[in-house]
Amino acid sequence: TQLLEQSPQFLSIQEGENLTVYCNSSSVFSSLQWYRQEPGEGPVLLVTVVTGGEVKKLKRLTFQFGDARKDSSLHITAAQPGDTGLYLCAGAGETSGSRLTFGEGTQLTVNP
Amino acid sequence: GAGVSQTPSNKVTEKGKYVELRCDPISGHTALYWYRQSLGQGPEFLIYFQGTGAADDSGLPNDRFFAVRPEGSVSTLKIQRTERGDSAVYLCASSMDSRRTGELFFGEGSRLTVL
């Protein structure tokens, strides 16, 4: 069974601060995705990373896939209240086809 | 509609009852997924369909859970003899093609409460 561990589980910061969320596993993933979920809604895809060492930037968000394709991080610069939500990483295993394994999520609260 | 539609949005039932949850995917999406999400947890995989067939049902917790997609579009998740532990949000997602890991488009979920 492939497991993804996210840390921290909860994060409460002030507007303007920077933060990093981590997603770690002992398994290798063929690709890894980050989703954001708001209360009462389904997760929405932010990014997909597929190459070890890959870095992708989406405005104030920077995503990195580990060289060994076992871990990933999400860095947010100058957080805003609109960034508040549950951030989920999800990995596609090399032998699990398109079945995604989700981490337990990081609940981010950005206070104005 | 433009997105994935799930009905009902909320369902309250009594222990032992039968429940059906419906998912209407994005038109043209061949892959359809069911996940279950408990409070404070990430989504847990249940089953996915490529077309009409269940390509992977290894996440179904036991034989009380069953899902169908008879015409390759709408899917129904069926839960027999519901238990309190079945209470969760059941999420449906669709994607263009399950053979490549692409974006999953999720519905808003069906919140099931078993009393």
Q: Which of B42, B48, B107 sits opposite A98 (nearest CB)?
A: B48
Q: How many CB pairs under 8 A join A and B?
A: 68
Chain A interface test: which of B60, B89, B101 (most A C-beta within 10 Å): B101
Contact yes or no for A104/A8 (Cβ under 8 A): no
Greater pLDDT, B39 or B2: B39
- Cβ within 8 Å of residue B95, ≥6 positions away: A98, B29, B31, B33, B102, B103, B104, B105
Q: Tell me what pLDDT residue A110 has.
A: 97
CA distance B2 to B51: 19
Per-residue model confidence as pLDDT tens digits over B24-69: 999 989 999 999 999 889 999 999 998 898 889 999 999 999 999 9
Write down the mean pLDDT value for chain A. 93
Chain B interface test: which of A34, A100, A101, A104 (most B C-beta within 10 Å): A100
Q: Tell me what pLDDT residue B100 has.
A: 60
Is pLDDT of B1 > 60?
A: no
Greater pLDDT, B40 or B87: B87
Q: Which of B40, B41, B45 sits opposite A100 (nearest CB)?
A: B45
Q: Which residues of B touch A3 (CB under 8 A)?
A: none
Lowest mean pLDDT among A49-63, A96-110, B37-51: A96-110
In angstroms, the separation between the Cα of residue B39 and the nearest Cα of chain A is: 10
Is pLDDT of B77 > 70?
A: yes
Is pLDDT of B97 > 80?
A: no
Of chain A, the percentage scoring pLDDT greater than 90 comes to: 84
Is pLDDT of A97 > 90?
A: no
Q: Which residues of A touch B5 (CB under 8 A)?
A: none
